[in-house]
């Protein structure tokens, strides 16, 4: 099909562009051309380095804690985890102007004329990458307050599609009003919920609560158990819904209330009454009501958008939970805005099932990982998590490392067990995690192949878990559900001998990656092995393609 613009002259095209630019657009706009782009936006490549000393437990590591700029981490995860994440939860900076948001290594304050634009650009670049990580039936939850909620909603409509907006939940974060407030007491925050595809994503039903079950009684000692009465009349017109009813007491009810209809026919009413499913009151004189048995009610309820602190906790709960694990003398100096554990648990109950992958790339104090581990212990699930957290080091605090000292340390203690502030032993939830750091590699510096991040990336791409790179071994080996994954950093007689020995002992198929796959195919004939060239995405990032 011919391009309709092919026949236009240069002047005509310029005129059309000017007309288009003059027309107002509906949607979110910000001064992208007026602000300095983030320094993270550059041509550097990103590598992930595994730190064995800061990791916890035994490899292979299925759960990951990544230290570094989350934009860097997302760029690499897009290569290894695109379409694999079932649930994303993030608690980004709220851009209050109170030294909570850093852009280009500088705090953005209230007086910055481009304050909102910088925040939007910051979020836009990260959410655009996050969208690519979601599975087709995945969902993202984003915490936010009034400072940027309206802007964030429009941004997410733009990125995920208005049709994929699922809900805006309200979390009651405070249990008492702030009487010092000038206008209104700030008692709530929001959770914006967007599906990758609303037609495919479905929330899990929430467990019934004791309060919901409290309405069920058994006033007539029915052997079928607890029940509650339900109105027999309804407003919906029903052709067989107008008739008189005679109560067991003999009282005649001429018909339903004015403008209403009985919701069942006269014949159906008699059938229900014969089955003792109609309640006439203790004296048999009431307007009839249908008995709804608790045993017939679905054991789950649809999630609601109002989340009260009694159910999911408040901000003070969150700080106490953090101090209970880490026992800092002053939590505000370490991390001042954690989320309560029950809040994240509710998100995971709604959005995940055993085996799902959860991502939090503003991981903060590590609450998301604790919630994943707690839920796994509860239902014997095997959910996995990836946390990304920065050090939050500044010129005033160059040695600060939030990821290492708060996020990872909290996860480590929860996995191995700890003593709380009351000196009580809290049982271990078990598990292991690999601690990684993002590292930027300038394109001009790629003069030799960096094998360790290649091996890390291959494992994440194919297996979803990590084993350490062993520089003294000629062959790197990891086992997955589909078979062995092998990597030959260099093709040599020693490496070929080690590969032959490994294949002979291998009980299953093996995928062998090499910079010289064609040479290996010539040297080794083994039906159990598939020889693959290093993927171009890795060759571009970490080495010179075709070089050993």
386-400 confidence digits (pLDDT tens): 999 998 887 778 888
Instruction: Compute the average pLDDT of residues 462-475.
Output: 94
**Rounded Cα distance, 468 and 127, in Å:** 30
pLDDT 10s digits, 16-44: 888 877 776 677 878 887 787 777 666 67
Nearest to 538 by CA among 43, 80, 62: 80
Strands 476-480 and 483-488: antiparallel
Prior bond of 60 cis (ω within 30°) = yes
The region of weakest confidence among 116-120, 331-335, 374-378, 502-506 is 331-335
List, in sequence order, the alpha helices (H) in 64-209: 70-81, 115-133, 149-160
Q: Is the Cβ–Cβ distance between 467 and 478 less than 8 Å?
A: yes
**Rounded Cα distance, 156 and 28, in Å:** 10
pLDDT at 460: 95
Nearest to 402 by CA among 102, 75, 74: 102
Q: What percent of the chain has pLDDT over 70?
A: 94
Q: Is the pLDDT of residue 548 over 50?
A: no
**Rounded Cα distance, 238 and 234, in Å:** 9
- Residue 405 gets which letter from DSSP? I
Q: Is the Cβ–Cβ distance between 204 and 353 less than 8 Å?
A: yes
**Rounded Cα distance, 170 and 457, in Å:** 39
In sequence order, what DSSP letters do the residues of 479-540 get, joined into one string? Answer: EETTEEEEEESS--HHHHHHHHHHHHH-SS-EEEEETTHHHHHHH---TTEEEEEPPHHHHH
pLDDT 10s digits, 254-281: 999 888 999 999 999 999 999 999 999 9
Three-state DSSP at 324 gives helix
pLDDT 10s digits, 347-376: 999 999 999 999 999 999 999 999 999 999
Higher-pLDDT residue of 236, 173: 173
Nearest to 414 by CA among 299, 326, 339: 326
Instruction: Compute the average pLDDT of residues 504-510.
Output: 82
In sequence order, what DSSP letters do the residues of 220-268 get, joined into one string? Answer: T--TT--EEEEESEESS--TT----EE-TTS-EE-SSSTT-EESS-HHH
Prior bond of 231 cis (ω within 30°) = no
Nearest to 366 by CA among 410, 325, 405, 327: 410
Q: Is the Cβ–Cβ distance between 388 and 70 less than 8 Å?
A: yes
**Rounded Cα distance, 341 and 319, in Å:** 10
243: phi then psi, degrees, rounded to nearest 5: -165, 155
In sequence order, what DSSP letters do the residues of 151-175 get, joined into one string? Answer: HHHHHHHHHH-GGGEEEEEEEE--S
pLDDT 10s digits, 400-419: 899 999 999 999 999 999 99
- Residue 215 gets which letter from DSSP? T
pLDDT at 107: 85
pLDDT at 239: 85
Mean pLDDT estimate for the chain? 89
Q: Is the pLDDT of residue 547 over 80?
A: no
pLDDT 10s digits, 192-225: 999 999 999 999 999 888 888 888 999 999 999 9
Nearest to 309 by CA among 415, 189, 483: 189
pLDDT at 535: 86
How many CB atoms sit inside 10 A of residue 85's CB? 23
Higher-pLDDT residue of 548, 522: 522
pLDDT at 545: 40
Instruction: Tell me whether residue 267 is exposed, middle or buried, using C-beta atoms within 10 angstroms of its C-beta: 0 to 12, 13 to 18, 19 or more.
Output: exposed
CA angle, corner 430, sides to 425 and 431, nearest 5? 145
| Beta strand spans in 308-397 (E) | 357-360, 384-389
pLDDT at 330: 55
pLDDT 10s digits, 71-97: 999 999 999 999 999 999 999 999 888
Three-state DSSP at 454 gives helix
- Residue 38 gets which letter from DSSP? P
How many CB atoms sit inside 10 A of residue 16's CB? 12
Q: Which helix (H) or strand (E) holds 192?
A: strand 188-195
* Residue found by looking up tokens 């914006």 in the block: 192
Which of the residue ranges 2-6, 15-19, 468-472 has the most confident prediction, judged by mean pLDDT?
Answer: 468-472
Higher-pLDDT residue of 526, 149: 149
Structure tokens at 416: 């191995």
pLDDT at 1: 45
pLDDT at 329: 61
């Amino acid at each position: 099909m011919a391009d309709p613009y092919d026949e236009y002259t240069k002047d005509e095209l310029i005129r059309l562009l000017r007309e288009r630019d003059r027309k107002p657009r509906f949607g979110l706009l910000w001064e992208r051309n007026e602000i300095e782009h983030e320094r993270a936006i550059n041509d550097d490549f990103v590598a992930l380095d595994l730190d064995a000393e800061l990791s916890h437990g035994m490899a292979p590591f299925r759960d990951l804690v990544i230290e570094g700029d989350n934009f860097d981490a997302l760029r690499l995860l897009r290569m290894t985890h695109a379409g694999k994440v079932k649930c994303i939860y993030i608690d980004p900076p709220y851009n209050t102007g109170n030294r909570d948001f850093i852009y280009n290594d500088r705090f953005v304050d209230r007086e910055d004329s481009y304050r909102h634009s910088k925040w939007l650009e910051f979020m836009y670049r990260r959410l655009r990458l996050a969208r690519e990580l979601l599975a087709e039936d995945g969902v993202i939850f984003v915490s936010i307050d009034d400072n940027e909620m309206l802007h964030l909603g429009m941004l997410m409509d733009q990125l995920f599609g208005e049709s994929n907006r699922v809900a805006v939940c309200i979390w009651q974060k405070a249990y008492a009003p702030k009487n010092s407030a000038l206008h209104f007491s700030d008692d709530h925050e929001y959770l914006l919920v967007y599906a990758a595809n609303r037609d495919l994503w479905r929330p899990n039903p929430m467990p019934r609560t004791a309060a919901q079950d409290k309405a069920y009684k058994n006033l007539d000692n029915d052997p079928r158990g607890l029940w509650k009465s339900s109105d027999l009349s309804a407003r919906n017109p029903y052709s067989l819904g107008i008739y008189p009813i005679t109560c067991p007491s003999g009282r005649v009810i001429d018909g339903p209330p004015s403008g209403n209809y009985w919701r069942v026919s006269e014949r159906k009413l008699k059938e229900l009454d014969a089955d003792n499913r109609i309640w006439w009151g203790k004296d048999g004189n009431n307007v009839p009501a249908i008995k709804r048995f608790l045993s017939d009610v679905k054991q789950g309820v649809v999630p609601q958008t109002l989340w009260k602190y009694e159910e999911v906790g408040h901000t003070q709960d969150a700080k106490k939970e953090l101090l209970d694990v880490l026992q800092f003398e002053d939590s505000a100096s370490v991390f001042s805005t954690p989320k309560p554990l029950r809040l994240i648990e509710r998100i995971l109950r709604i959005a995940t099932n055993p085996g799902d992958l959860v991502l939090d790339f503003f991981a903060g104090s590590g609450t998301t990982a604790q919630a994943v581990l707690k839920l796994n212990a509860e239902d014997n699930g095997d959910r996995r998590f990836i946390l990304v957290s920065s050090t939050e080091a500044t010129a005033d605090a160059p040695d600060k490392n939030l990821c290492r000292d708060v996020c990872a340390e909290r996860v480590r203690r929860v996995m191995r067990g700890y003593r709380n502030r009351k000196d009580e032993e809290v049982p271990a939830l078990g598990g292991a995690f690999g601690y990684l750091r993002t590292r930027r590699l300038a394109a001009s510096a790629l003069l030799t192949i960096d094998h360790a991040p290649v091996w890390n990336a291959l494992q994440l791409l194919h297996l979803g878990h990590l084993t350490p790179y062993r520089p003294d071994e000629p062959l790197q080996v990891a086992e997955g559900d589909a078979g062995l994954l092998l990597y030959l950093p260099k093709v040599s007689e020693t490496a070929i001998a080690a590969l032959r020995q490994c294949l002979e002992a291998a009980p299953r198929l093996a995928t062998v990656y090499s910079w010289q796959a064609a040479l290996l195919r010539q040297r080794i004939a083994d039906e159990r092995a598939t020889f693959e060239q290093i993927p171009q995405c890795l060759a571009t990032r970490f080495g010179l393609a075709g070089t050993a």
